[in-house]
């Protein structure tokens, strides 16, 4: 496919889109002033945490005030030490935070733009690039990645290749407000240093040889200079002339990463720390022997620290992933380790992970968080969590697992106040690491947990107990099944009986409507289906585990029930035929990569039913109608001919079965090419169907960039996104929602004839009151990656919004 033709077609579609009525509104990522804080019309619910968090950044004025980001696009701000958070959403997420040391109300967020608040975070506005310099803003690719295309004349356009600037937006990192003058602000875009001396009214940029890792200046020995650190050198830049003087690191330190440092408390000295290891191995989470380096002369010279603890004397060098020091108390510094191996008395290895701290400028180090002691393998429960953590639910759930620590942030004026994050949680110390307390979740009466507002994991569905209106459940990625017995106020995790290999993701579940406490659930060791990244590896099926489990006590415990399915079937959906007899139910399940399974004995035994399914067996979602008619969605997936990576891809399809899955018939979608995600029907007219689909993606989304480039180059698949509607059971279709939107699923409100909802990866959810003829956006919901809208069966005026990375939002849907 011709790349430029596809690009121009997409741009043309976006221009045409702007001319349509409200049902075809252009994608608008923010209002005029930027994203708003989460309003009272929505509240987030769940156990809290559950995913990785990064770059905790503290205020200079108040150590209870900090910001933190998730790898699933959300940013979170607290002013009460983590007891509660507001969420600030930019498409693609936030990658750097900065507080103005001279004005506590002024803060900055770096996303694909530079953004500022002057009222303590209540409202935000874009500072740079200027509005007049932006040609267009678009979403593209399998994750609907946001791109901003600046004018060629804009300094913000750092690409020579126009195509590159269209498909990728650089990230604003390393924001630094000069403590001498709040009008002097610095940030980096890859290897470019941007700077302003007039508070952002005008900008200049300076190109360096390498990507920038750290920017620093202070009000005493660097009053006239700003230091810019890269992987190979320190660049001392004069603030008036912007003349650069560079100092190269020692060869053994190159490439350096995670540079940190600052001012020694109550003195005029400055210290910097840096790490060195094999970067590709570190990025893959592998063993990467790491050395620590220190400079006490503003980066001109560096010495490797060879102390016994930091080098793990007598054993292999540890793997360190990041460093952080207190900016104005920099003799206090923390280093995070993902692998620290010690020999046991029996000769075997004990693998530890955690954080070490120095309070004397790196001369000596002590463990302040030490977990593990086992094999260090994911899913092997032979270790122990650190003993000085006052944790919420994660310790009970994963405390014996290997848990990789992610990041650390330190309060700028007090090195004894810090936050360390790992795969599931964020923990804070106020006593230099002697004790750590949860800032993501709180234990409530009865032993359950409630989110503090730091919700950072993927949810698929909200499920309602037909016999108990207080009992609801959520199917989650990474943390499995959680349920609540008080209508969502508090939550508990329930995976008892689920094989450890399955527990990563619960994709779906179904209550038996006629048998109290009976539930079937769908489990997988692999998350994020149907995103293309999950099946790029030709060997992906070797790692795929999963199946169906049943509970007879309301989800408190489970029993695998997958005879004939084996334990390597990652199940993503399950439906029940309500006309089948109680105690001998007929159920259907999709196993990603295998197809459709059917059970006619209450889920005890399963048999594949794939007759008529051609091409992709990435069976993702089933929909069952009251008369037993089934609809099946299969997802695009690499073909992996002869189990080798290549550029050949199966596209997605929609099938119908009217004979209990004995055979499947593909639906005629015309000349459309689809990446279908979700299908639903109107209960008042089951022939009326709604199908949500993904918009344009690239070959590299499916097979990986390296494979695409090695086999002829990347290309875009020209897909029809949005929503299609059929009024004749899928024989013919018409478009009812913009084809440029990435629609994950469509929901019919059974209590309100004509009301239809959809959720998208375009930073918005929408509602139609006229069967899809026109649409309005739901107010105050702005999370980038949305999954489903689910009407609350216990209060039909409200809805739940499930998300790819922000847990569950709940509230009364209002429109802009």
Position 62 pLDDT exceeds 80: yes
Into which CATH architecture does domain 464-743 fall? 7 Propeller (2.130)
Read off the pLDDT of residues 471-480 as tens digits, 9 standing for 90 and up. 999 999 999 9
Read off the pLDDT of residues 29-38 as tens digits, 9 standing for 90 and up. 334 344 544 4
Nearest to 324 by CA among 388, 222, 438, 405: 405
Q: Average the pLDDT over 455-459 and give the result.
A: 97
In this prediction, residue 25 has a pLDDT band, given cuts at 50, 70 and 90, of: very low
Position 308 pLDDT exceeds 50: yes
Q: Give the pLDDT confidence score for residue 283 in this predicted structure.
A: 67
pLDDT > 90: percent of the chain: 89
Read off the pLDDT of residues 179-233 as tens digits, 9 standing for 90 and up. 999 999 999 999 999 999 999 999 999 999 999 999 999 999 999 999 999 999 9
Q: Give the pLDDT confidence score for residue 319 in this predicted structure.
A: 94
Q: Output the CA–CA distances (angstroms, integers) from residue 669 to 23, 300, 731, in the order listed.
A: 22, 65, 8
Position 285 pLDDT exceeds 90: no
Q: Give the pLDDT confidence score for residue 1 in this predicted structure.
A: 33
Are residues 800 and 789 in contact, defined by beta-carbon separation less than 8 angstroms? Answer: yes
Q: Output the CA–CA distances (angstroms, integers) from residue 776 to 555, 740, 765, in the order listed.
A: 37, 16, 9
What token pair was written down for 739? Answer: 């084809």
Q: Give the pLDDT confidence score for residue 31 in this predicted structure.
A: 41
Q: Distance between CA 411 and CA 430 in Å, rounded? A: 10
Q: Distance between CA 400 and CA 385 in Å, rounded? A: 6
Helix (H) or strand (E) holding 207: strand 204-207
Q: Distance between CA 667 and CA 467 in Å, rounded? A: 37
Read off the pLDDT of residues 368-422 as tens digits, 9 standing for 90 and up. 999 999 999 988 999 999 999 999 999 999 999 999 999 999 999 999 999 999 9
Are residues 808 and 802 in contact, defined by beta-carbon separation less than 8 angstroms? Answer: yes
Position 11 pLDDT exceeds 60: no
What token pair was written down for 514? Answer: 């006629």
Beta bridge partners of 197: none
Q: Which residues contact 638 (CB under 8 A, 6 or more apart)?
A: 532, 535, 536, 538, 645, 646, 648, 649, 650, 702, 703
The count of residues in the chain is: 816
What token pair was written down for 211? Answer: 């990507």
Q: Give the pLDDT confidence score for residue 159 in this predicted structure.
A: 81
Position 19 pLDDT exceeds 80: no
Q: Give the pLDDT confidence score for residue 126 in this predicted structure.
A: 97
Read off the pLDDT of residues 756-772 as tens digits, 9 standing for 90 and up. 999 999 999 999 999 99
Q: Give the pLDDT confidence score for residue 345 in this predicted structure.
A: 87
pLDDT > 70: percent of the chain: 94
For 16, list phi and psi in degrees, rounded to 5: -60, -40
Q: Which residues contact 131 (CB under 8 A, 6 or more apart)?
A: none
Q: Output the CA–CA distances (angstroms, integers) from residue 69 to 308, 414, 426, 556, in the order listed.
A: 34, 21, 11, 32
Are residues 440 and 451 in contact, defined by beta-carbon separation less than 8 angstroms? Answer: yes
Q: Which residues contact 342 (CB under 8 A, 6 or more apart)?
A: 312, 315, 349, 350, 352
Q: Average the pLDDT over 595-622 and give the result.
A: 98
Position 20 pLDDT exceeds 80: no
Position 570 pLDDT exceeds 80: yes
What token pair was written down for 177? Answer: 């407000």
Q: Average the pLDDT over 799-805 and give the result.
A: 98
Strand order of the sheet with strand 653-657? 619-624, 630-634, 653-657, 665-666
Domain-wise residue ranges, the chain: 464-743
Position 718 pLDDT exceeds 80: yes
Are residues 512 and 544 in contact, defined by beta-carbon separation less than 8 angstroms? Answer: no
Query: How open is the CA angle 314-320-321, to the nearest 5 degrees?
Result: 170
Handedness of CA 124, 129, 131, 135 (dihedral sign): negative
Are residues 130 and 150 in contact, defined by beta-carbon separation less than 8 angstroms? Answer: no
Q: Give the pLDDT confidence score for residue 816 in this predicted structure.
A: 80
Q: Which residues contact 217 (CB under 8 A, 6 or more apart)?
A: 176, 178, 179, 180, 186, 223, 225, 226, 227, 239
Q: Distance between CA 448 and CA 472 in Å, rounded? A: 14
Helix (H) or strand (E) holding 758: strand 756-760
pTM for the whole structure: 0.93
The whole-chain average pLDDT of the chain stands at 93
Distance of CA 680 to the CA centre of its chain: 26
Q: Give the pLDDT confidence score for residue 97 in this predicted structure.
A: 98
Read off the pLDDT of residues 65-101 as tens digits, 9 standing for 90 and up. 999 999 999 999 999 999 999 999 999 999 999 999 9
Q: Average the pLDDT over 553-568 and give the result.
A: 96
Are residues 650 and 640 in contact, defined by beta-carbon separation less than 8 angstroms? Answer: no
Read off the pLDDT of residues 428-444 as tens digits, 9 standing for 90 and up. 999 999 999 999 999 99
Q: Distance between CA 385 and CA 584 in Å, rounded? A: 43
In this prediction, residue 169 has a pLDDT band, given cuts at 50, 70 and 90, of: confident
């Amino acid at each position: 496919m011709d790349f430029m033709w596809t690009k121009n077609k997409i741009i043309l579609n976006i221009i045409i889109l702007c001319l349509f009525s409200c049902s075809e509104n252009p994608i608008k990522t923010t209002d005029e002033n930027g994203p708003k804080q989460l309003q009272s019309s929505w509240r987030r619910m769940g156990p809290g945490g559950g995913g990785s968090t990064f770059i905790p950044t503290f205020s200079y004025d108040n150590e209870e005030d900090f910001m933190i980001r998730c790898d699933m696009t959300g940013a979170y701000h607290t002013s009460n030490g983590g007891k509660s958070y507001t969420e600030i959403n930019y498409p693609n997420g936030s990658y750097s935070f900065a507080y103005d040391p001279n004005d506590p109300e002024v803060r900055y967020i770096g996303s694909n733009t530079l953004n500022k608040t002057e009222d303590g975070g209540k409202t935000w506005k874009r500072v740079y690039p200027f509005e007049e310099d932006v040609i267009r803003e678009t979403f593209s690719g399998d994750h609907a990645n946001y791109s901003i295309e600046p004018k060629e004349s804009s300094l913000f356009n750092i690409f020579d290749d126009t195509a590159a600037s269209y498909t990728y937006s650089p990230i604003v990192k390393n924001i630094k407000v000069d403590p001498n003058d709040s009008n002097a602000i610095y940030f980096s875009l890859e290897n470019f240093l941007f700077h302003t001396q007039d508070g952002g009214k005008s900008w200049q940029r300076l190109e360096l040889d390498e990507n920038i890792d750290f920017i620093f200046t202070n009000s005493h020995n660097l009053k006239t200079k700003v230091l810019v650190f890269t992987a190979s050198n320190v660049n001392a830049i004069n603030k008036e002339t912007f003349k650069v003087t560079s100092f190269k690191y020692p060869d053994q330190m190159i490439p350096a990463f995670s540079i940190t440092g600052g001012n020694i408390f109550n003195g005029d000295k400055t210290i910097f720390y840096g790490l060195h290891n094999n970067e590709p191995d570190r990025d893959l989470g592998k063993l990467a022997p790491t050395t620590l380096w220190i400079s006490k002369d503003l980066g001109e010279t560096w010495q490797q620290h060879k102390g016994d603890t930091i080098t793990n004397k007598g054993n292999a060098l540890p793997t360190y992933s990041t460093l952080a020091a207190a900016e104005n108390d920099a003799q206090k510094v923390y280093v995070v380790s993902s692998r620290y191996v010690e020999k046991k008395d029996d000769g075997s290895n004990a693998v530890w992970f955690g954080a070490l701290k120095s309070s004397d400028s790196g001369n000596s180090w002590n463990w302040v968080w030490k977990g593990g002691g086992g094999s260090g393998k994911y899913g092997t429960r032979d270790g122990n969590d650190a003993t000085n953590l006052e944790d919420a639910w994660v310790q009970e759930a994963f405390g014996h697992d290997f848990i990789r620590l992610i990041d650390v942030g330190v309060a700028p004026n007090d090195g004894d106040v810090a936050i360390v994050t790992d795969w599931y949680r964020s923990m804070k110390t106020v006593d230099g690491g002697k004790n750590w307390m949860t800032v993501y979740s709180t234990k409530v009466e009865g032993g359950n947990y409630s989110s503090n507002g730091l919700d950072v994991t993927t949810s698929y569905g909200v499920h309602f107990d037909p016999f108990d209106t207080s009992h609801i459940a959520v199917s989650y990625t990474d943390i499995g099944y959680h349920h609540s017995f008080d209508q969502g106020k508090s939550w508990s995790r329930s995976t008892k009986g689920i094989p450890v290999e399955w527990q990563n993701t619960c994709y779906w579940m179904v209550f038996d409507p006629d048998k109290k406490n009976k539930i079937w659930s769908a489990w997988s060791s692999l998350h994020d289906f149907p995103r293309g990244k999950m099946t790029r590896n030709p060997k992906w099926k070797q790692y795929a585990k999963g199946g169906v489990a049943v509970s007879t006590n309301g989800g408190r415990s489970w029993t695998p029930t997958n005879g004939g399915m084996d334990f390597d079937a990652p199940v993503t959906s399950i439906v029940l035929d309500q006309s089948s007899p109680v105690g001998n139910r007929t159920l259907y399940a999709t196993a990603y990569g295998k197809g459709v399974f059917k059970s006619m004995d209450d889920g005890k035994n399963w048999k594949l039913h794939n007759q008529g399914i051609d091409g992709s067996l990435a069976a993702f979602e089933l929909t069952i109608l009251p008369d037993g008619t089934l609809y099946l969605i299969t997802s695009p997936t690499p073909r992996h001919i002869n189990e080798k990576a290549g550029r050949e891809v199966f596209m997605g399809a929609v099938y119908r079965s009217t004979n209990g899955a004995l055979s499947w018939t593909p639906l005629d979608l015309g000349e459309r090419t689809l990446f279908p995600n979700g299908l639903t029907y109107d209960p008042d007219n089951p022939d009326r169907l709604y199908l949500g689909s993904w918009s344009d993606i690239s070959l590299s989304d499916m097979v990986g960039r390296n494979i695409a480039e090695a086999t002829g180059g990347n290309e875009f698949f020209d897909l029809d996104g949005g929503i299609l509607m059929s009024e004749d059971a899928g024989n013919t279709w018409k478009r009812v929602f913009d084809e440029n939107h990435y629609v994950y699923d469509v929901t019919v409100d059974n209590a309100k004839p004509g009301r239809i909802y959809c959720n998208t990866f375009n930073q918005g959810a929408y509602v139609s009151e006229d069967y899809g003829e026109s649409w309005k956006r739901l107010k105050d919901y702005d999370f980038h990656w949305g999954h489903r809208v689910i009407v609350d069966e216990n209060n039909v005026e409200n809805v739940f919004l499930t998300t790819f990375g922000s847990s569950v939002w709940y509230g009364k849907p209002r429109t802009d």
